[in-house]
Amino acid sequence: MARHILVFYGSYRRDRQGIKLARWIVDALAARGDSAELIDAKAVDLPMLDRMFKEYAKGEAPPAMADLAAKIRAADGFLFVTGEYNWGPQPGLKNLTDHYLEEWFWRPAAIACYSAGPWSGVRAMMGWRDTLGEMGMAVTSSILPVGRIGGAFDDNGEPTGDDGARLVKSFPRFANDLNWWIDAAKAQRAKQDPPY
């Protein structure tokens, strides 16, 4: 059974390195037989949060916001790719997710994290896990950390070196964990309506 997974990425920086990881994950999920779509916060370009999607009258939200709301509601699960900015997630990713709330409910999420150094963005991941849980998602215990992101991919976007090899080795278990929770959540939603 194919699953539809949205892969969110949030850096707005000029020389974005993590976009290579996000694109690779989309391709790796597709190679496993699932449908994956990259949601790049910079490309969606929502304004700084003023009004959440639910705060607009029906049909009055900006088109990009409404389109993304529909995609989130239709997805089976989510995968967030976050870099580490001063021990926290990228503001672009946080801003994008904060425009929505109920759209996230009752679906699982997984986190891939990265940094320029050896800590692989795990400090940002830890705070991000709490945020996603508060937003109504069941967050998997498996993470996908990538250190030294600038050297983890070659010019063609393929994993390279020790950090790239660790990514390739870790990915199947990470994806299996997310897929298990996606299937479990889908089965439960089919059996019983969410409690609210």
- Which tokens hold the place of 132? 């996603």
196 inside domain:
no
110 inside domain:
yes
What is the rounded CA–CA span in Å between residue 145 and residue 143? 6
Query: Would residue 6 be called left, alpha or beta, if left means φ above 0 and alpha means ψ between -120 and 50 degrees?
Result: beta
CATH code for the domain of 101: 3.40.50.360
Give pLDDT tens digits for 128-141. Answer: 999 999 999 999 99
Give pLDDT tens digits for 49-91. Answer: 999 999 999 999 999 999 999 999 999 999 999 998 888 888 9
Give pLDDT tens digits for 165-187. Answer: 999 999 999 999 999 999 999 99
43 inside domain:
yes
112 inside domain:
yes
For the beta sheet containing 108-114, the strands, ordered from the edge strand earlier in sequence to the opposite edge, are 35-40, 4-9, 77-83, 108-114, 138-146
Sign of the dihedral through C-alpha 20, 7, 14, 116: negative
Q: Domain tally for the chain?
A: 1
Integer CA distances (angstroms), 7 to 62, 77, 190, 194, in order: 22, 9, 24, 24
User: What's the pLDDT score for residue 117?
Assistant: 83
134 inside domain:
yes
pLDDT band at 96 (very low <50, low <70, confident <90, very high): very high
Give the residue numbers spanning the domain of 160.
Answer: 4-191
In the numeric block, the tokens 């790719």 are attached to 81
What is the rounded CA–CA span in Å between residue 45 and residue 188? 34
Give pLDDT tens digits for 14-49. Answer: 999 999 999 999 999 999 999 999 999 999 999 999
User: What's the pLDDT score for residue 23?
Assistant: 98
87 inside domain:
yes
Confidence check: pLDDT of 196 > 80: no
Give pLDDT tens digits for 157-170. Answer: 999 999 999 999 99
pTM (two decimals): 0.96
